[in-house]
């Protein structure tokens, strides 16, 4: 018997239930991974998703339904600059702490990399806090750490 591949779905910013679940996953992850990060309110998060990044970027968000609280295991937001750094995508990826260590983050990362490649991007940038699960996830995924621009 084979295990089914996760079905990653495109986010509709008008779907209030999905957006709220994304917010909850992000908050749960940041509480552990970056507790000093100032939290957004659900309404600011929804507006940020609906409006997207600055005018010089396009973006897309995808989520993975799951058995974590709220019915959503994880999600990512991929920003794609339109003017400069057109070789790069900027990735924010979150997996609910209750859904970690099952390959879901890897599935989301591979999906994001595929979406970035489809847009002609050859590099993905992201941020993690040293000493967290995010840093270990990146190391296991073969990410090369760097500090600062470049």
Mean pLDDT in each 10-residue stretch from start to end of the chain (150 residues)? 71 92 94 86 86 77 88 94 84 94 94 95 89 87 70
Query: The whole model's pTM is what?
Result: 0.88
C-alpha 60/C-alpha 96 separation (Å) is 20
Structural domains in the chain, CATH included, are 9-140 (3.40.630.30)
pLDDT at 23: 94
Long-range contacts of the stretch 50-55 (C-beta < 8 A, 24+): 50/13, 50/14, 53/79
Could you tell me if 65 and 72 are in contact, meaning their C-beta atoms sit under 8 angstroms apart? yes
Structure tokens at 79: 């920003």
User: Can you give the pLDDT at residue 5?
Assistant: 64
- At residue 2, the pLDDT reads 47
């Amino acid at each position: 018997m084979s295990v089914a591949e996760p079905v990653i779905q495109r986010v509709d910013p008008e779907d209030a239930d999905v957006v709220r679940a994304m917010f909850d996953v992000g908050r749960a992850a940041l509480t552990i991974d970056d507790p000093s990060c100032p939290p957004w309110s659900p309404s600011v998060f929804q507006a940020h998703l609906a409006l997207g990044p600055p005018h010089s970027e396009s973006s897309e968000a995808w989520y993975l339904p799951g058995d974590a609280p709220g019915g959503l295991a994880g999600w990512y937001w991929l920003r794609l600059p339109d003017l400069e750094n057109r070789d790069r995508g900027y990735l924010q990826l979150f997996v609910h702490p209750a859904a970690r260590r099952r390959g879901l983050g890897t599935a989301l990362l591979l999906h994001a990399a595929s979406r970035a490649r489809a847009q002609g991007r050859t590099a993905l940038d992201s941020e993690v806090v040293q000493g967290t699960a995010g840093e270990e996830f990146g190391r296991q995924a073969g990410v090369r750490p760097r500090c600062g621009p470049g």
